[in-house]
Amino acid sequence: MRLATKEQEMHDYAAQISELKSSMIPSTSSLKNSLLDPAVNFVIQKMKKEMTETKKKLEDTQNDLNAWKFTADRCPLL
């Protein structure tokens, strides 16, 4: 009798845990609602723009650096 009671309690606890886990996962609508604040949207868009510009500058700088690397086949004196 005790074993059956304990097993039932364990089953109930497992059901509660799975219910809590599923309630912790944010839904798509709640994520969209969190982006409705215009100030937050503005900051995120500005950060994305700055990140794109920074990546472009990094790529250009890497290309310039590669163009100016000193190698024996590029040296006019050799």
Gap between the Cα atoms of 40 and 10, Å rounded? 44
Q: Is the pTM of this model over 0.85?
A: no
Give residue 65's pLDDT band: very low, low, confident or very high (50, 70, 90): confident
For residues 39 and 23, membership in a common domain is answered with: no
Token output for 18:
């799975």
Gap between the Cα atoms of 71 and 65, Å rounded? 12
- For 76, the 3-state DSSP assignment is coil
For residues 78 and 58, membership in a common domain is answered with: yes
Give me the pLDDT at residue 35, please: 63
Boundaries of domain holding 15? 1-28
Token output for 77:
């004196």
- The H-assigned helical ranges of 1-78 are 2-24, 28-34, 38-68
pLDDT in tens, 54-64: 999 999 999 88
Q: How many domains does one find in the chain?
A: 2
For residues 39 and 74, membership in a common domain is answered with: yes
